[in-house]
Amino acid sequence: MAKMEVKTSLLDNMIGVGDMVLLEPLSEDSFINNLKKRFDHSEIYTYIGSVVVSINPYRPLPIYSPEKVEEYRNRNFYELSPHIFALSDEAYRSLRDQDKDQCILITGESGAGKTEASKLVMSYVAAVCGKGAEVNQVKEQLLQSNPVLEAFGNAKTVRNDNSSRFGKYMDIEFDFKGDPLGGVISNYLLEKSRVVKQPRGERNFHIFYQILSGASEDLLNKLKLERDFSRYNYLSLDSARVNGVDDAVNFRTVRNAMQIVGFMDHETQSILEVVAAVLKLGNIEFKPESRVNGLDESKIKDKNELKEICELTGIDQSVLERAFSFRTVEAKQEKVSTTLNVAQAYYARDALAKNLYSRLFSWLVTRINESIKAQTKVRKKVMGVLDIYGFEIFEDNSFEQFIINYCNEKLQQIFIELTLKEEQEEYIREDIEWTHIEYFNNAIICDLIENNQTGILAMLDEECLRPGTVTDDTFLEKLNQVCATHQHFESRMSKCSRFLNDTSLPHSCFRIQHYAGKVMYQVEGFVDKNNDLLYRDLSQAMWKANHSLIKALFPEGNPAKINLKRPPTAGSQFKASVATLMKNLQTKNPNYIRCIKPNDKKAAHIFNEALVCHQVRYLGLLENVRVRRAGYAFRQPYELCLERYKMLCKQTWPHWRGPARAGVEVLFNELEIPEEEYSFGRSKIFIRNPRTLFKLEDLRKQRLEDLATLIQKIYRGWKCRTHFLLMKRSQIVIASWCRRYAQQKKYQRIKSSAIVVQSYIRGWKARKLLRELKHQKRCKEAATTIAAYWHGTQARRELRRLKEEARNKHAIAVIWAYWLGYKVRREYRKFFRANAGRKIYEFTLQKIMQKYFLEMKNKMPSLSPIDKNWPARPYLFLDSTHKELKRIFHLWRCKKYRDQFTDQQKLIYEEKLEASELFKDKKALYPASVGQPFHGAYLEISKNPKYKKLKDAVEEKIIIAEVVNKINRANGKCASRIFLLTKNNVLLADQKSGHIKSEVPLGDVTKVSMSSQNDGFFAVHLKEGSGAAGKGDFLFSSDHLIEMATKLYRTTLSQTKQKLNIEISDEFLVQFKQDKVCVKFIQGNQKNGNIPTCKRKNNRLLEVAVP
């Protein structure tokens, strides 16, 4: 029986208030107290309508298990307790079922858990979407892009051990079924100043420490690095180690993630070389020198570091050394070269390090996008996930904080606009009267920053571009002139007299009244950071590098493409990026996650009310609640409302047969709720005051207790009656068993008595029969004994007679032998006296040789040339004769064997010999092919009427006709094709229709590649630029690989007089259109017997799984 599903609600077993819209009374204190109460009970998620407020617990919680994923899957948003999975499921189902593009905006300050929240959203979507090999590969690549970006873009700060120092927006693309196809990542404003300088208590980017901790000694030697952190000036030493973080393990994780995403080994090596070069740039130091003309210039103190950097990057040492000492300025047709002093040289060094790392990070994002982008061109649905830095208010706020807070102003603006828009659309959709809601519109602050004429960014760009002396102070004076009267701008030197006495505002600062509060910015560094200049000499030096990656990072260094136009400033670039982001977000349905940091100690179970209150204010959460409560605080579909409260009315309990809206109307009339407290929409009931909802909940709770009592009463009665009936049935069963037992015992006694009587009678009969049989046996044995004795006597008499005859015959033979011996000795006695020894020797030798040849005749081996048997040598003096006879015999039987061959058989053995020279001890498949004859024409095209059309199309003699599996270049799938080899061409035809698909002249075939494994996979390489090479090289799989390669080799040699290159390797390159793809053979379990399985991993790798 299926387990009954128990439906719950947001209002069930609620700790505090799960939805802040229902908070009563609503104030800042009650808001904070409700968050604290839920946080103390490990409830870190709270709703504000459809917005999720997340508090970082700083400890693992058991609320992200696969069971939790299934619990929130395909459930209503308000059906379960607040959770980030509920918002993720709502966004995914809206995208999949309603065809609405989604975006999830995750905001909050550093350390609030934004990055972890984005990972949870992606992991949930990956868990609930479809399954399959290709889908799982896409999901794995999307998930594994996070460790790579975190290693290069995250760092330890005083607020967060894994702080994202860049903004990330990922568009995940889905097909019509909701399965992921790929993704696109956009990055915003990497904090590249961290490369050269870190605040106290913070670290540089993770990747620097991971390489030094986790790289092998061999890799460190190749990168010319040492494991000691103190050797590098760009690494802060006070926070080099982070508690709970193993940089060595993380480095291995990053390397594995890069491989999964699709980075080739040489690309990974190039990336690590660039990172090492950045790290070693910080060790270059300069010393001052005076020239003859009185100008100061700088020289490098120790050139060993410079030499190692040049060896890593492939740059001429003299070129890079000059770029650090001189600066060339071009104006129209003139070039002016000036020397750099020590301060300018250090600025150039740091600028190069920052630009090198920043461009490497942008290249990484682009490279990841190439791997994870959707391969198909079908219409896609998009879910965007925005993980961007939150509002920042530090003790010292500079250009980076100004840009970050500007981005948050834009996000707050779109948040308020979209929230009001969503609220208004729901009221209109439900036919509820819409009332205007007063709220603070921060458009005036955005205009102060981004206005094209009088905005702060425009003033900063204008100041950077104007001729003359430009400093941060002149920029501040410009702001004082233009923005003096703006109500959200304050400055000590402003013309507005009300700020002249504000001693808390230094002279070199200005203050902006943001939506989250006042922030004071120090203008020092604004102009330099906005310019973000890299001297053209350094760009050209980088472009001259032999390192392909570094050369690609500095395209402006190409002398042929010199552009004298000033590059766009950092502020204008970020402003354009934010505008593009806002435009993108406005086309999607928004979902919000507001992240809050409970304390600055990064410790669990600590809730700092002042810190949380500050974040609640600048996130505008209280204002968001007021917007949601301006009309109706709670709304719910009629079906769910009736299902939850139907027990409060006799007419609706237990079942309501009519429409759900009519049932809700009857319910509310029965409960006498005032009409001004609710309103009926098209599909939902709207409740104005949270007190009304809590009253309904109290009535429901009391009614549930009454229903529970009634259920208990009925259950107890049922249980007692069931027990009584069970006892009654048991008594009947026991009585029947007792009666049966008594009858069984009586029957057993009668049966045993009958058996005893029967046994006695059978015993008497058996003994009588036994006596009769014994008497008959004794009579037969007596007659047999008498006959045996008589036969024995007769046999002994005959034996004595035969022995006597034998003795007589033997005596005659002995006498005759002695007589013959006597006659011979008397005849030859005269000869033995003179040369008896020699005669005996020759006679003996003649007899031995005669015996040897007669034995050899009987022991000759078979006539098979491969039979290695030969009789053993009988005498030592016949050793040379014995070996010579063996050799002569082998040559003779080989000739006899060859004489049997026809011309066709000779051709076959020549091909077998050629195959042995090509594949023996190289290809594991070769031994199995030795015993198989080479037929060539496996399809018998001339006899099969199905291939008549193909036979007519091919005029030449067909050497091979075989069905092969052609491998699709895009996805690795197989298709059957007829492979034809003639004297001049290789043809591919369709197996069903016989239509010729491809025709390749033998002169265009350059090479055949295959693995050393026991598989039939091979690649036919074509000459570049030939007509047949339009789509690239061919990949095949055949059961007769050895025969096909041998015949192709012999035919090509015969026609072109050139040997065809046969490459046997477990990893080789093939050409697919314009791309070179690596074919790699791996061991794997085969579902289709010994047929290799091909899988396209990415744009540059094709894996072939062989048994």
Rounded CA separation 424/409 (Å)? 23
Question: Would you say 430 and 436 are in contact if contact means Cβ atoms under 8 Å apart?
Answer: no
Q: What is the 3 state secondary structure string of 1015-1061? A: CCEEEEEECCCCHHHCCECEEEECCCHHHHHHHHHHHHHHHHCCCCE
Token digits of residue 956: 């030449």
Smallest Cα–Cα separation from 208: which of 278, 284, 160, 260?
A: 278
Question: Would you say 112 and 615 are in contact if contact means Cβ atoms under 8 Å apart?
Answer: yes
Rounded CA separation 920/897 (Å)? 24
Rounded CA separation 70/127 (Å)? 9
Active site residues: 110-111, 115, 160, 163-164, 390, 392
Residues 6+ apart with CB under 8 A from 724: none
Smallest Cα–Cα separation from 134: which of 384, 375, 379?
A: 375
Question: Would you say 460 and 532 are in contact if contact means Cβ atoms under 8 Å apart?
Answer: no
Question: Would you say 233 and 1072 are in contact if contact means Cβ atoms under 8 Å apart?
Answer: no
What DSSP string runs through 429-487?
Answer: HTT----------THHHHHHHH-TTTSHHHHHHHHHHSSS---HHHHHHHHHHHSTT-T
Strand, helix or coil at 102?
Answer: strand
Smallest Cα–Cα separation from 17: which of 96, 81, 99, 110?
A: 81
List alpha helices for 314-341, DSSP H. 317-325
Residue type, 364: L
102-107 and 381-387 strand pairing:
parallel
Question: Would you say 914 and 1044 are in contact if contact means Cβ atoms under 8 Å apart?
Answer: no
Rounded CA separation 220/205 (Å)? 18
Residues 6+ apart with CB under 8 A from 461: 530, 569, 571, 572
Rounded CA separation 965/805 (Å)? 88
Rounded CA separation 177/75 (Å)? 19
C-alpha distances in angstroms, 12 versus 65, 561, 694?
Answer: 22, 68, 12
Strand intervals (E) in 343-380: none
Rounded CA separation 1052/1007 (Å)? 11
Residue type, 897: Y
Rounded CA separation 187/1034 (Å)? 40
C-alpha distances in angstroms, 407 versus 102, 167, 458?
Answer: 20, 10, 16
Rounded CA separation 1048/1062 (Å)? 10
What DSSP string runs through 768-835?
Answer: HHHHHHHHHHHHHHHHHHHHHHHHHHHHHHHHHHHHHHHHHHHHHHHHHHHHHHHHHHHHHHHHHHHH
Question: Would you say 17 and 693 are in contact if contact means Cβ atoms under 8 Å apart?
Answer: no
The sign of the CA dihedral 485, 487, 489, 494 is positive
Residues 6+ apart with CB under 8 A from 657: none
Question: Would you say 990 and 977 are in contact if contact means Cβ atoms under 8 Å apart?
Answer: yes
Question: Would you say 1076 and 1100 are in contact if contact means Cβ atoms under 8 Å apart?
Answer: yes
